Chain A
Protein backbone atom coordinates (compact mmCIF):
# COMPACT_ATOMS: atom_id res chain seq x y z
CA UNK A 1 0.00 0.00 0.00
CA UNK A 2 2.49 2.66 -1.10
CA UNK A 3 -0.30 4.80 -2.55
CA UNK A 4 -0.31 7.16 0.40
CA UNK A 5 3.04 8.60 -0.54
CA UNK A 6 2.03 9.67 -4.02
CA UNK A 7 0.95 13.16 -4.91
CA UNK A 8 -2.62 14.25 -4.45
CA UNK A 9 -4.89 14.15 -7.47
CA UNK A 10 -2.93 11.46 -9.25
CA UNK A 11 -5.13 8.99 -11.12
CA UNK A 12 -3.21 5.98 -9.86
CA UNK A 13 -4.40 6.60 -6.30
CA UNK A 14 -7.32 4.55 -5.12
CA UNK A 15 -10.66 6.29 -4.76
CA UNK A 16 -11.37 8.03 -1.47
CA UNK A 17 -13.74 6.09 0.78
CA UNK A 18 -14.00 8.49 3.67
CA UNK A 19 -14.05 12.22 3.29
CA UNK A 20 -14.32 14.58 6.24
CA UNK A 21 -14.46 18.29 5.60
CA UNK A 22 -14.38 20.88 8.36
CA UNK A 23 -15.75 18.55 11.02
CA UNK A 24 -16.22 20.33 14.35
CA UNK A 25 -17.89 19.33 17.56
CA UNK A 26 -18.93 21.68 20.36
CA UNK A 27 -20.33 20.78 23.74
CA UNK A 28 -22.10 22.88 26.36
CA UNK A 29 -23.66 25.26 23.81
CA UNK A 30 -20.36 25.98 22.08
CA UNK A 31 -18.33 26.65 25.23
CA UNK A 32 -16.32 23.46 24.93
CA UNK A 33 -14.66 22.83 21.57
CA UNK A 34 -13.97 19.11 21.27
CA UNK A 35 -13.05 19.19 17.59
CA UNK A 36 -12.22 22.06 15.32
CA UNK A 37 -12.15 21.88 11.52
CA UNK A 38 -10.90 18.36 10.92
CA UNK A 39 -10.28 17.47 7.27
CA UNK A 40 -9.51 13.87 6.45
CA UNK A 41 -9.40 11.73 3.34
CA UNK A 42 -9.03 7.97 3.57
CA UNK A 43 -8.55 5.96 0.41
CA UNK A 44 -9.38 2.35 -0.30
CA UNK A 45 -6.97 -0.05 1.37
CA UNK A 46 -5.17 2.54 3.47
CA UNK A 47 -4.46 2.22 7.16
CA UNK A 48 -4.78 5.50 9.05
CA UNK A 49 -4.10 6.22 12.69
CA UNK A 50 -4.93 9.18 14.80
CA UNK A 51 -2.79 9.81 17.82
CA UNK A 52 -3.01 12.34 20.60
CA UNK A 53 -3.09 12.73 24.35
CA UNK A 54 -6.30 11.89 26.16
CA UNK A 55 -8.92 14.57 25.80
CA UNK A 56 -7.77 15.66 22.35
CA UNK A 57 -11.07 14.60 20.84
CA UNK A 58 -9.89 11.53 18.97
CA UNK A 59 -12.66 9.34 20.36
CA UNK A 60 -15.20 12.02 19.51
CA UNK A 61 -13.83 12.06 15.97
CA UNK A 62 -14.25 8.31 15.74
CA UNK A 63 -17.83 8.47 17.04
CA UNK A 64 -18.66 11.12 14.45
CA UNK A 65 -17.12 9.02 11.69
CA UNK A 66 -19.12 6.01 12.87
CA UNK A 67 -22.36 7.97 12.90
CA UNK A 68 -22.80 7.45 16.63
CA UNK A 69 -22.89 11.18 17.32
CA UNK A 70 -23.58 14.04 14.89
CA UNK A 71 -20.95 16.72 14.18
CA UNK A 72 -21.79 20.30 15.12
CA UNK A 73 -20.34 21.49 11.82
CA UNK A 74 -18.85 19.92 8.73
CA UNK A 75 -19.49 17.00 6.45
CA UNK A 76 -18.75 13.27 6.73
CA UNK A 77 -19.01 11.26 3.53
CA UNK A 78 -18.53 7.52 3.28
CA UNK A 79 -18.58 5.78 -0.10
CA UNK A 80 -20.30 8.78 -1.63
CA UNK A 81 -23.14 9.11 0.87
CA UNK A 82 -23.27 11.25 4.01
CA UNK A 83 -22.94 9.43 7.33
CA UNK A 84 -26.08 10.01 9.36
CA UNK A 85 -26.38 7.27 11.94
CA UNK A 86 -24.96 3.76 12.20
CA UNK A 87 -23.91 2.25 8.88
CA UNK A 88 -23.75 -1.40 7.86
CA UNK A 89 -20.59 -0.71 5.82
CA UNK A 90 -18.70 0.26 8.98
CA UNK A 91 -17.24 -2.30 11.37
CA UNK A 92 -16.18 -1.15 14.81
CA UNK A 93 -13.95 -2.39 17.55
CA UNK A 94 -13.52 -0.98 21.02
CA UNK A 95 -11.00 -1.07 23.84
CA UNK A 96 -13.03 -3.78 25.55
CA UNK A 97 -13.94 -6.88 23.58
CA UNK A 98 -17.52 -6.47 24.81
CA UNK A 99 -18.55 -10.05 24.21
CA UNK A 100 -21.82 -11.01 25.87
CA UNK A 101 -21.48 -13.81 28.41
CA UNK A 102 -24.87 -15.36 27.59
CA UNK A 103 -23.89 -15.90 23.96
CA UNK A 104 -21.38 -18.41 22.66
CA UNK A 105 -18.42 -17.03 20.77
CA UNK A 106 -20.13 -17.86 17.48
CA UNK A 107 -23.38 -16.21 18.57
CA UNK A 108 -21.41 -13.14 19.64
CA UNK A 109 -19.76 -12.93 16.25
CA UNK A 110 -23.10 -13.27 14.48
CA UNK A 111 -24.70 -10.55 16.62
CA UNK A 112 -24.41 -7.74 14.01
CA UNK A 113 -26.09 -9.94 11.40
CA UNK A 114 -28.79 -11.07 13.81
CA UNK A 115 -29.53 -7.45 14.72
CA UNK A 116 -29.57 -6.19 11.12
CA UNK A 117 -31.05 -9.10 9.22
CA UNK A 118 -32.59 -11.45 11.76
CA UNK A 119 -31.97 -14.92 13.13
CA UNK A 120 -32.32 -16.74 9.82
CA UNK A 121 -29.63 -14.62 8.16
CA UNK A 122 -27.40 -15.15 11.18
CA UNK A 123 -27.84 -18.91 10.89
CA UNK A 124 -26.93 -18.89 7.22
CA UNK A 125 -23.84 -16.79 7.95
CA UNK A 126 -22.45 -19.46 10.29
CA UNK A 127 -19.94 -20.81 7.74
CA UNK A 128 -18.61 -17.30 7.19
CA UNK A 129 -18.27 -16.74 10.94
CA UNK A 130 -16.46 -20.05 11.33
CA UNK A 131 -14.10 -19.14 8.49
CA UNK A 132 -13.31 -15.88 10.31
CA UNK A 133 -12.68 -17.77 13.54
CA UNK A 134 -10.20 -19.88 11.66
CA UNK A 135 -8.60 -16.75 10.17
CA UNK A 136 -7.85 -15.37 13.64
CA UNK A 137 -6.80 -18.72 15.07
CA UNK A 138 -9.89 -19.41 17.17
CA UNK A 139 -10.98 -22.53 15.34
CA UNK A 140 -12.87 -24.86 17.66
CA UNK A 141 -13.87 -22.11 20.07
CA UNK A 142 -17.17 -21.36 18.33
CA UNK A 143 -19.25 -23.02 21.03
CA UNK A 144 -17.18 -21.66 23.92
CA UNK A 145 -18.55 -18.93 26.13
CA UNK A 146 -16.56 -15.68 26.47
CA UNK A 147 -15.67 -16.59 30.06
CA UNK A 148 -13.57 -19.40 28.65
CA UNK A 149 -11.53 -17.05 26.44
CA UNK A 150 -8.42 -15.09 27.45
CA UNK A 151 -8.23 -11.33 26.88
CA UNK A 152 -6.40 -11.71 23.58
CA UNK A 153 -8.76 -14.44 22.38
CA UNK A 154 -11.75 -12.26 23.26
CA UNK A 155 -10.33 -9.41 21.18
CA UNK A 156 -9.80 -11.79 18.31
CA UNK A 157 -13.44 -12.80 18.54
CA UNK A 158 -14.27 -9.08 18.50
CA UNK A 159 -12.26 -8.79 15.27
CA UNK A 160 -14.44 -11.55 13.79
CA UNK A 161 -17.59 -9.76 14.91
CA UNK A 162 -16.36 -6.59 13.23
CA UNK A 163 -15.56 -8.39 9.98
CA UNK A 164 -18.59 -10.68 9.72
CA UNK A 165 -20.73 -8.05 7.99
CA UNK A 166 -17.88 -7.52 5.48
CA UNK A 167 -17.66 -3.76 6.09
CA UNK A 168 -15.94 -1.32 3.73
CA UNK A 169 -14.37 0.52 6.59
CA UNK A 170 -12.96 -0.54 9.94
CA UNK A 171 -13.01 1.90 12.85
CA UNK A 172 -10.79 0.83 15.73
CA UNK A 173 -10.94 2.60 19.07
CA UNK A 174 -7.76 1.61 20.96
CA UNK A 175 -8.65 -2.01 20.33
CA UNK A 176 -5.74 -3.64 22.10
CA UNK A 177 -4.83 -1.09 24.75
CA UNK A 178 -6.33 -3.21 27.54
CA UNK A 179 -4.04 -6.13 26.66
CA UNK A 180 -0.55 -6.73 27.95
CA UNK A 181 2.25 -5.54 25.68
CA UNK A 182 3.30 -8.97 24.43
CA UNK A 183 -0.24 -9.91 23.44
CA UNK A 184 -0.74 -6.46 22.03
CA UNK A 185 2.23 -6.65 19.67
CA UNK A 186 1.03 -10.01 18.49
CA UNK A 187 -2.54 -8.78 17.99
CA UNK A 188 -1.29 -5.80 16.00
CA UNK A 189 0.45 -8.16 13.60
CA UNK A 190 -2.73 -10.23 13.41
CA UNK A 191 -4.67 -7.09 12.61
CA UNK A 192 -2.26 -6.22 9.83
CA UNK A 193 -2.55 -9.71 8.39
CA UNK A 194 -6.35 -9.65 8.52
CA UNK A 195 -6.44 -6.19 6.90
CA UNK A 196 -4.02 -7.22 4.16
CA UNK A 197 -5.93 -10.40 3.42
CA UNK A 198 -9.17 -8.49 2.90
CA UNK A 199 -7.63 -5.27 1.49
CA UNK A 200 -9.46 -3.52 4.31
CA UNK A 201 -9.46 0.20 4.93
CA UNK A 202 -8.92 1.03 8.55
CA UNK A 203 -8.89 3.98 10.91
CA UNK A 204 -7.25 3.44 14.28
CA UNK A 205 -7.42 5.60 17.38
CA UNK A 206 -4.45 5.02 19.65
CA UNK A 207 -2.22 6.67 22.19
CA UNK A 208 0.77 4.49 21.42
CA UNK A 209 3.21 6.10 19.00
CA UNK A 210 4.96 2.86 18.07
CA UNK A 211 1.64 1.11 17.47
CA UNK A 212 0.55 3.92 15.16
CA UNK A 213 3.83 3.83 13.21
CA UNK A 214 4.06 0.07 12.85
CA UNK A 215 0.49 -0.31 11.58
CA UNK A 216 -0.20 2.82 9.56
CA UNK A 217 0.30 4.28 6.13
CA UNK A 218 -0.67 7.68 7.49
CA UNK A 219 -0.61 8.98 11.08
CA UNK A 220 -2.64 12.04 12.04
CA UNK A 221 -1.29 13.83 15.09
CA UNK A 222 -3.91 15.64 17.13
CA UNK A 223 -3.64 18.34 19.76
CA UNK A 224 -6.15 19.13 22.45
CA UNK A 225 -8.29 22.20 23.22
CA UNK A 226 -9.47 22.59 20.57
CA UNK A 227 -9.04 19.11 19.14
CA UNK A 228 -7.49 19.46 15.71
CA UNK A 229 -5.13 17.60 13.44
CA UNK A 230 -1.80 19.42 13.73
CA UNK A 231 0.14 17.33 11.25
CA UNK A 232 -0.25 14.30 9.04
CA UNK A 233 2.76 12.00 8.83
CA UNK A 234 3.12 9.47 6.03
CA UNK A 235 4.87 6.30 7.12
CA UNK A 236 7.00 4.96 4.30
CA UNK A 237 7.99 1.56 5.62
CA UNK A 238 7.67 -1.58 3.50
CA UNK A 239 4.73 -3.95 3.88
CA UNK A 240 4.21 -6.33 5.50
CA UNK A 241 5.49 -4.69 8.62
CA UNK A 242 7.22 -6.80 11.23
CA UNK A 243 7.91 -6.25 14.90
CA UNK A 244 11.65 -6.14 14.09
CA UNK A 245 11.11 -2.88 12.23
CA UNK A 246 11.07 -1.01 15.50
CA UNK A 247 14.86 -1.23 15.43
CA UNK A 248 15.13 0.51 12.03
CA UNK A 249 16.53 4.07 12.17
CA UNK A 250 13.62 5.14 9.93
CA UNK A 251 11.16 3.85 12.51
CA UNK A 252 12.95 5.77 15.21
CA UNK A 253 12.79 8.95 13.12
CA UNK A 254 9.03 8.60 12.68
CA UNK A 255 8.57 8.04 16.40
CA UNK A 256 10.74 11.07 17.22
CA UNK A 257 8.88 13.27 14.73
CA UNK A 258 5.51 12.29 16.16
CA UNK A 259 6.69 12.61 19.76
CA UNK A 260 7.97 16.13 19.07
CA UNK A 261 4.64 17.06 17.51
CA UNK A 262 2.80 15.69 20.52
CA UNK A 263 5.08 17.54 22.95
CA UNK A 264 4.46 20.78 21.11
CA UNK A 265 0.75 20.10 21.20
CA UNK A 266 0.84 19.72 24.95
CA UNK A 267 2.02 23.30 25.42
CA UNK A 268 -0.30 24.93 22.92
Chain B
Protein backbone atom coordinates (compact mmCIF):
# COMPACT_ATOMS: atom_id res chain seq x y z
CA UNK B 1 0.00 0.00 0.00
CA UNK B 2 1.57 3.19 -1.15
CA UNK B 3 -1.37 5.33 -0.19
CA UNK B 4 -1.55 5.70 3.55
CA UNK B 5 -4.03 8.12 4.95
CA UNK B 6 -2.43 11.04 6.74
CA UNK B 7 -5.48 11.50 8.81
CA UNK B 8 -8.51 9.31 8.60
CA UNK B 9 -12.13 9.98 9.25
CA UNK B 10 -13.04 10.85 12.79
CA UNK B 11 -15.90 12.31 14.68
CA UNK B 12 -15.18 15.02 17.21
CA UNK B 13 -16.83 14.99 20.62
CA UNK B 14 -19.20 17.71 19.41
CA UNK B 15 -20.43 15.35 16.76
CA UNK B 16 -19.10 17.30 13.74
CA UNK B 17 -17.54 15.27 11.04
CA UNK B 18 -13.84 15.99 10.77
CA UNK B 19 -12.70 14.89 7.41
CA UNK B 20 -9.35 15.66 5.88
CA UNK B 21 -7.95 15.07 2.44
CA UNK B 22 -5.96 11.85 2.14
CA UNK B 23 -2.40 12.64 1.19
CA UNK B 24 -0.49 9.78 -0.37
CA UNK B 25 2.90 8.91 1.10
CA UNK B 26 4.57 9.44 -2.28
CA UNK B 27 3.44 13.04 -2.59
CA UNK B 28 4.76 13.90 0.88
CA UNK B 29 8.35 13.00 0.03
CA UNK B 30 10.30 15.93 -1.43
CA UNK B 31 11.05 15.50 -5.09
CA UNK B 32 14.83 15.73 -4.79
CA UNK B 33 14.86 13.04 -2.10
CA UNK B 34 12.75 10.71 -4.22
CA UNK B 35 15.11 11.24 -7.15
CA UNK B 36 18.23 10.60 -5.07
CA UNK B 37 16.73 7.49 -3.48
CA UNK B 38 15.74 6.12 -6.87
CA UNK B 39 19.25 6.78 -8.22
CA UNK B 40 20.87 4.86 -5.37
CA UNK B 41 18.41 2.00 -5.70
CA UNK B 42 19.25 1.84 -9.38
CA UNK B 43 23.01 1.98 -8.78
CA UNK B 44 22.73 -0.64 -6.03
CA UNK B 45 20.83 -3.05 -8.28
CA UNK B 46 23.29 -2.40 -11.07
CA UNK B 47 26.24 -3.12 -8.79
CA UNK B 48 24.54 -6.25 -7.49
CA UNK B 49 23.85 -7.64 -10.93
CA UNK B 50 27.36 -6.97 -12.23
CA UNK B 51 29.54 -7.83 -9.22
CA UNK B 52 27.56 -11.01 -8.55
CA UNK B 53 28.59 -12.17 -11.99
CA UNK B 54 25.06 -12.43 -13.35
CA UNK B 55 26.06 -10.21 -16.26
CA UNK B 56 29.59 -10.23 -17.67
CA UNK B 57 31.48 -6.92 -17.22
CA UNK B 58 32.22 -7.07 -20.95
CA UNK B 59 28.52 -6.58 -21.57
CA UNK B 60 27.64 -4.35 -18.66
CA UNK B 61 30.35 -2.54 -16.68
CA UNK B 62 30.02 -2.16 -12.93
CA UNK B 63 28.87 1.25 -11.68
CA UNK B 64 32.17 1.70 -9.88
CA UNK B 65 34.22 1.14 -13.02
CA UNK B 66 31.91 3.49 -14.93
CA UNK B 67 32.32 6.17 -12.28
CA UNK B 68 36.07 5.64 -12.32
CA UNK B 69 36.05 6.06 -16.09
CA UNK B 70 33.86 9.16 -15.82
CA UNK B 71 36.68 10.60 -13.70
CA UNK B 72 39.26 9.57 -16.27
CA UNK B 73 37.39 11.10 -19.21
CA UNK B 74 36.62 14.16 -17.13
CA UNK B 75 40.30 14.68 -16.36
CA UNK B 76 41.05 14.16 -20.05
CA UNK B 77 38.53 16.82 -20.99
CA UNK B 78 39.95 19.21 -18.41
CA UNK B 79 43.60 18.59 -19.35
CA UNK B 80 42.85 19.36 -22.97
CA UNK B 81 43.91 16.09 -24.59
CA UNK B 82 42.41 14.40 -27.66
CA UNK B 83 39.08 14.05 -25.88
CA UNK B 84 38.59 17.80 -25.80
CA UNK B 85 39.31 17.94 -29.51
CA UNK B 86 36.76 15.17 -30.09
CA UNK B 87 34.19 16.82 -27.87
CA UNK B 88 34.72 20.12 -29.66
CA UNK B 89 34.22 18.46 -33.05
CA UNK B 90 30.89 17.01 -31.91
CA UNK B 91 29.88 20.29 -30.29
CA UNK B 92 30.54 22.12 -33.55
CA UNK B 93 28.47 19.59 -35.45
CA UNK B 94 25.66 20.01 -32.99
CA UNK B 95 25.75 23.82 -33.07
CA UNK B 96 25.97 24.12 -36.84
CA UNK B 97 23.39 21.39 -37.30
CA UNK B 98 21.04 23.23 -34.97
CA UNK B 99 21.61 26.61 -36.63
CA UNK B 100 21.01 25.06 -40.04
CA UNK B 101 17.88 23.26 -38.85
CA UNK B 102 16.62 26.47 -37.25
CA UNK B 103 17.15 28.53 -40.41
CA UNK B 104 15.59 26.00 -42.77
CA UNK B 105 12.90 24.96 -40.29
CA UNK B 106 11.66 28.48 -39.61
CA UNK B 107 11.71 29.37 -43.31
CA UNK B 108 9.75 26.27 -44.29
CA UNK B 109 7.48 26.65 -41.26
CA UNK B 110 6.55 30.21 -42.23
CA UNK B 111 5.94 29.16 -45.85
CA UNK B 112 3.73 26.29 -44.72
CA UNK B 113 2.01 28.17 -41.91
CA UNK B 114 1.46 31.52 -43.60
CA UNK B 115 0.73 30.76 -47.25
CA UNK B 116 -2.16 28.59 -48.37
CA UNK B 117 -0.10 27.31 -51.28
CA UNK B 118 2.65 26.24 -48.90
CA UNK B 119 0.15 24.51 -46.67
CA UNK B 120 -1.47 22.65 -49.53
CA UNK B 121 1.54 21.95 -51.73
CA UNK B 122 4.62 21.90 -49.48
CA UNK B 123 3.24 20.34 -46.30
CA UNK B 124 2.41 16.92 -47.84
CA UNK B 125 6.00 16.57 -48.98
CA UNK B 126 7.34 17.55 -45.58
CA UNK B 127 5.11 14.94 -43.94
CA UNK B 128 6.19 12.35 -46.52
CA UNK B 129 9.90 13.00 -45.91
CA UNK B 130 9.33 13.10 -42.16
CA UNK B 131 7.94 9.57 -42.24
CA UNK B 132 11.07 8.23 -43.93
CA UNK B 133 13.75 6.66 -41.71
CA UNK B 134 16.03 9.67 -41.77
CA UNK B 135 19.15 7.83 -40.59
CA UNK B 136 19.03 5.89 -43.85
CA UNK B 137 20.08 9.10 -45.60
CA UNK B 138 23.42 9.12 -43.73
CA UNK B 139 25.39 7.26 -46.42
CA UNK B 140 24.02 9.71 -48.98
CA UNK B 141 25.21 12.69 -46.98
CA UNK B 142 28.66 11.10 -46.71
CA UNK B 143 28.69 10.46 -50.45
CA UNK B 144 27.66 14.06 -51.16
CA UNK B 145 29.64 15.90 -48.53
CA UNK B 146 32.55 13.60 -47.67
CA UNK B 147 33.86 12.28 -44.38
CA UNK B 148 34.37 15.71 -42.84
CA UNK B 149 32.22 17.64 -40.42
CA UNK B 150 29.73 18.84 -43.06
CA UNK B 151 28.10 15.44 -43.62
CA UNK B 152 27.45 15.18 -39.86
CA UNK B 153 26.10 18.71 -39.74
CA UNK B 154 23.78 17.86 -42.61
CA UNK B 155 22.47 14.71 -40.92
CA UNK B 156 22.04 16.46 -37.58
CA UNK B 157 20.13 19.28 -39.28
CA UNK B 158 18.08 16.84 -41.36
CA UNK B 159 16.97 14.91 -38.30
CA UNK B 160 16.11 17.96 -36.21
CA UNK B 161 14.53 20.21 -38.85
CA UNK B 162 11.09 18.58 -38.88
CA UNK B 163 9.98 19.38 -35.34
CA UNK B 164 10.94 23.00 -36.02
CA UNK B 165 8.90 23.13 -39.24
CA UNK B 166 5.89 21.56 -37.55
CA UNK B 167 6.23 23.71 -34.43
CA UNK B 168 6.51 26.91 -36.47
CA UNK B 169 3.61 26.06 -38.78
CA UNK B 170 1.37 24.91 -35.93
CA UNK B 171 2.30 28.01 -33.94
CA UNK B 172 1.31 30.31 -36.79
CA UNK B 173 -2.09 28.60 -36.87
CA UNK B 174 -2.58 28.90 -33.12
CA UNK B 175 -4.24 32.33 -33.06
CA UNK B 176 -7.98 31.84 -32.56
CA UNK B 177 -10.84 33.17 -34.65
CA UNK B 178 -11.62 36.00 -32.22
CA UNK B 179 -8.09 37.34 -32.29
CA UNK B 180 -7.94 37.18 -36.09
CA UNK B 181 -11.28 38.97 -36.33
CA UNK B 182 -10.09 41.65 -33.95
CA UNK B 183 -6.96 42.27 -36.04
CA UNK B 184 -9.07 42.37 -39.18
CA UNK B 185 -11.48 44.82 -37.60
CA UNK B 186 -8.71 47.25 -36.66
CA UNK B 187 -7.42 47.17 -40.22
CA UNK B 188 -4.19 45.27 -39.59
CA UNK B 189 -2.13 44.33 -42.64
CA UNK B 190 -1.00 40.78 -43.22
CA UNK B 191 2.49 41.58 -42.01
CA UNK B 192 1.15 43.31 -38.89
CA UNK B 193 -1.08 40.32 -38.17
CA UNK B 194 1.91 38.01 -38.58
CA UNK B 195 4.28 40.01 -36.40
CA UNK B 196 1.89 41.31 -33.76
CA UNK B 197 -0.50 38.37 -33.48
CA UNK B 198 0.53 35.09 -35.08
CA UNK B 199 4.20 35.01 -34.09
CA UNK B 200 3.70 35.85 -30.39
CA UNK B 201 0.72 33.48 -30.17
CA UNK B 202 2.74 30.68 -31.75
CA UNK B 203 5.92 31.06 -29.68
CA UNK B 204 5.04 28.34 -27.12
CA UNK B 205 4.48 25.79 -29.88
CA UNK B 206 7.58 26.97 -31.72
CA UNK B 207 9.67 26.42 -28.62
CA UNK B 208 8.16 22.97 -28.10
CA UNK B 209 9.43 22.03 -31.56
CA UNK B 210 12.75 23.68 -30.83
CA UNK B 211 13.19 21.62 -27.65
CA UNK B 212 12.61 18.38 -29.50
CA UNK B 213 15.10 19.54 -32.15
CA UNK B 214 17.68 20.50 -29.52
CA UNK B 215 17.72 16.93 -28.24
CA UNK B 216 17.55 15.12 -31.56
CA UNK B 217 20.32 17.23 -33.08
CA UNK B 218 22.87 15.50 -30.80
CA UNK B 219 21.59 12.08 -31.86
CA UNK B 220 21.90 13.18 -35.46
CA UNK B 221 25.50 14.28 -35.06
CA UNK B 222 26.51 11.04 -33.29
CA UNK B 223 24.70 8.88 -35.84
CA UNK B 224 26.56 10.77 -38.54
CA UNK B 225 29.86 10.00 -36.85
CA UNK B 226 29.01 6.32 -36.47
CA UNK B 227 28.16 6.01 -40.12
CA UNK B 228 30.65 8.41 -41.65
CA UNK B 229 33.72 8.37 -39.43
CA UNK B 230 35.20 11.65 -38.30
CA UNK B 231 36.96 12.77 -35.15
CA UNK B 232 34.11 13.40 -32.77
CA UNK B 233 32.81 11.75 -29.64
CA UNK B 234 30.82 9.31 -31.74
CA UNK B 235 34.06 7.97 -33.14
CA UNK B 236 35.49 7.59 -29.62
CA UNK B 237 32.38 5.63 -28.62
CA UNK B 238 32.68 3.42 -31.69
CA UNK B 239 36.37 2.68 -30.96
CA UNK B 240 35.72 1.99 -27.26
CA UNK B 241 32.86 -0.34 -28.13
CA UNK B 242 35.06 -2.19 -30.64
CA UNK B 243 37.61 -2.68 -27.86
CA UNK B 244 34.85 -3.95 -25.53
CA UNK B 245 35.71 -1.04 -23.22
CA UNK B 246 32.12 -0.73 -21.98
CA UNK B 247 32.89 1.58 -19.01
CA UNK B 248 34.36 4.04 -21.53
CA UNK B 249 31.27 3.81 -23.76
CA UNK B 250 29.06 4.53 -20.77
CA UNK B 251 31.07 7.49 -19.55
CA UNK B 252 31.31 9.00 -23.05
CA UNK B 253 27.54 8.71 -23.43
CA UNK B 254 27.05 10.42 -20.08
CA UNK B 255 29.29 13.32 -21.13
CA UNK B 256 27.46 13.51 -24.45
CA UNK B 257 24.17 13.76 -22.62
CA UNK B 258 25.57 16.89 -21.00
CA UNK B 259 25.78 18.40 -24.48
CA UNK B 260 22.13 17.53 -25.13
CA UNK B 261 21.21 18.85 -21.71
CA UNK B 262 23.04 22.10 -22.44
CA UNK B 263 21.21 22.55 -25.76
CA UNK B 264 17.89 21.81 -24.10
CA UNK B 265 18.74 24.15 -21.25
CA UNK B 266 19.59 27.03 -23.57
CA UNK B 267 16.32 26.61 -25.50
CA UNK B 268 14.33 26.33 -22.26
CA UNK B 269 15.97 29.44 -20.92
CA UNK B 270 15.18 31.35 -24.12
CA UNK B 271 11.58 30.23 -23.88
CA UNK B 272 11.39 31.35 -20.27
CA UNK B 273 12.87 34.71 -21.28
CA UNK B 274 10.85 35.42 -24.42
CA UNK B 275 7.54 33.72 -23.64
CA UNK B 276 7.19 35.28 -20.21
CA UNK B 277 3.40 35.10 -20.36
CA UNK B 278 3.31 31.34 -20.87
CA UNK B 279 5.77 29.73 -18.52
CA UNK B 280 5.87 26.01 -17.81
CA UNK B 281 4.21 25.24 -14.50
CA UNK B 282 1.68 28.01 -14.98
CA UNK B 283 -1.63 27.68 -16.75
CA UNK B 284 -2.76 29.62 -19.80
CA UNK B 285 -3.86 32.54 -17.66
CA UNK B 286 -0.37 32.92 -16.26
CA UNK B 287 -1.49 31.96 -12.78
CA UNK B 288 0.43 29.33 -10.90
CA UNK B 289 -0.92 25.88 -11.61
CA UNK B 290 -0.76 24.79 -7.99
Contact = CB atoms under 8 A, between A and B. Distances in A.
Q: Is A bound to B?
A: yes
A115 B185 contact: no
Interface in B180-212: 181-188, 192, 196-197, 200-201
Nearest to A87: B187
Interface string A71-103: 000000000000001111010101110101110
A163 to B, nearest CB: 13
B192 A86 contact: no
A16 interface: no
Contacts of B181: 63, 68, 92, 94
Contacts of A116: 186-187
Contacts of B192: 115
A102 B186 contact: no
Given A115-B196, A145-B277, A147-B286, A88 B182 contact: no
- Give the interface centre of A63, A90, A115 by most chain B CB atoms within 10 Å: A115
A189 to B, nearest CB: 24
A47 to B, nearest CB: 20
B199 to A, nearest CB: 10
Contacts of A61: none
Given A96-B178, A100-B200, A86 B277 contact: no
Contacts of B276: 102
A115 B192 CA distance: 7
A95 B177 CA distance: 11
Given A95-B178, A100-B200, A115 B187 contact: yes
Contact of A94 (B178, B200, B277): B178
* Majority DSSP secondary structure for residues of B touching A: helix
Given A94-B178, A98-B178, A102-B200, A86 B184 contact: yes
Contacts, number: 54
B182 A145 contact: no
**What's the dominant secondary structure at chain A's contact region?**
loop
Nearest to A66: B185
Interface string B258-290: 000000000000000000111000000111000
A98 B277 contact: no
B182 A94 contact: yes
B239 interface: no
B179 interface: yes
A87 B185 CA distance: 7
Contacts of B278: 101
A111 interface: yes
Contact of B185 (A86, A102, A114, A148): A86
Contacts of A95: 178
Given A101-B277, A115-B186, A145-B286, 20 more contacts: A85-B187, A86-B185, A86-B186, A86-B187, A92-B182, A94-B182, A95-B178, A100-B179, A100-B200, A101-B278, A102-B200, A111-B196, A112-B186, A115-B192, A115-B196, A116-B187, A145-B277, A147-B287, A148-B286, A165-B186
Interface of A: 63, 66, 68, 85-88, 90, 92, 94-96, 98, 100-102, 111-112, 114-116, 145, 147-148, 165
